[in-house]
Amino acid sequence: MSDTVRENGVIVAIDGPSGAGKSSLTKLLARRLGYIHIDTGAMFRAVALMAKRAGIAADDDAGLAGLCRTLEISFVRDGEACRVLANGEDVSREIRTEEIGLLTSAVSARKPVRAALLTMQRAMGAKGGVILEGRDIGTVVFPDAEVKFFLSASAEERGRRRYLELAARGDSATLEETIAKVIQRDRQDEGREHAPLKQAADALPIDSTSLSIDEVLAVMESAVRERIAKGEKG
């Protein structure tokens, strides 16, 4: 990991598979540190949603490249929540369906999509004071991030967590179906050619299968504060 500290603070990279707790932990950690939270999965989801609406197939590289050239993605704070805007439209809810999740996994494997979002993500995070969560933050987007975590949990536990979330929303998916979708998404994200999901060599691995959110948060916060203190001394 790099020894530099940037204009607004360090860059924290949180990668890991679907349902590992990245979004929940990034939100909490960002609040504790007063850092900006960048949900890169939401950016890929916005591309997938807009492609679906425009009738662009998940493997149509030319169509996806054209879409990305004109698509503006931004985040706006709304009290405790963070809204995702695509060309100024609030798509925060629409991008969160299971259907868009699976489509995103396919669309995010395409080179033009990755190239377009890589540029946007680097521009958003370059000054530091940010936590980016995704699949390739520590390996591709910011390989020089000051702190990197790889957050995981067993597929069964991740499926169980997602199932509870969906059930609370009134979704009728079964536990078995939800676990199967988690495994399918893992396979797609780990097996793709461009920027596959993998742990950076210098990332701190955290297996949250039997840890509470608060326990994971404590480990992360202490690692980041230690790195910030080291930077301030040096």
Ligand X SMILES: Nc1ncnc2c1ncn2[C@@H]1O[C@H](COP(=O)(O)OP(=O)(O)OP(=O)(O)O)[C@@H](O)[C@H]1O
Ligand Y SMILES: Nc1ccn([C@H]2C[C@H](O)[C@@H](COP(=O)(O)O)O2)c(=O)n1
* Residues of this chain that bind ligand Y (CB under 6 A): 18, 40-42, 44-45, 101, 104-105, 108, 134-137, 185, 189
Please, where are the H alpha helices in 108-174?
111-125, 155-168
Min separation Cβ 226 and ligand Y, Å? 25
Q: Which stretch binds ligand X (CB under 6 A): 14-22, 64-72, 122-130, 218-226?
A: 14-22
135 binds, among ligand Y, ligand X, none (CB under 5 to 8 A by kind): ligand Y
Q: Does 16 carry a binding-site annotation?
A: yes
Q: Does 134 carry a binding-site annotation?
A: no
The answer to whether the CB of 106 falls within 8 A of the CB of 188 is: yes
Q: Does 21 carry a binding-site annotation?
A: yes
Contact residue for ligand X among 9, 19, 129, 138 (CB under 6 A): 19
What distance in Å separates the CA atoms of residue 34 and residue 17, rounded to the nearest whole number? 25
Q: Does 22 carry a binding-site annotation?
A: yes
Structural element, H or E, at residue 230: helix 213-233
Q: Does 152 carry a binding-site annotation?
A: no
Q: Which stretch binds ligand X (CB under 6 A): 18-26, 73-81, 136-144, 198-206?
A: 18-26
What distance in Å separates the CA atoms of residue 214 and residue 179, rounded to the nearest whole number? 24
| 101-142-78-17 Cα dihedral, nearest 10 degrees | 30
211 binds, among ligand Y, ligand X, none (CB under 5 to 8 A by kind): ligand X
112 binds, among ligand Y, ligand X, none (CB under 5 to 8 A by kind): none
Cβ contacts of 172-175, under 8 Å, gap ≥ 24 = 173/98
Helix axes 40-54, 111-125, angle to 10 degrees: 140
Q: Which residues are annotated as a binding site for ATP?
A: 16-24
What residues line the site for ligand X (CB under 6 A)? 16, 18-24, 41, 161-162, 165, 208, 211-213, 216
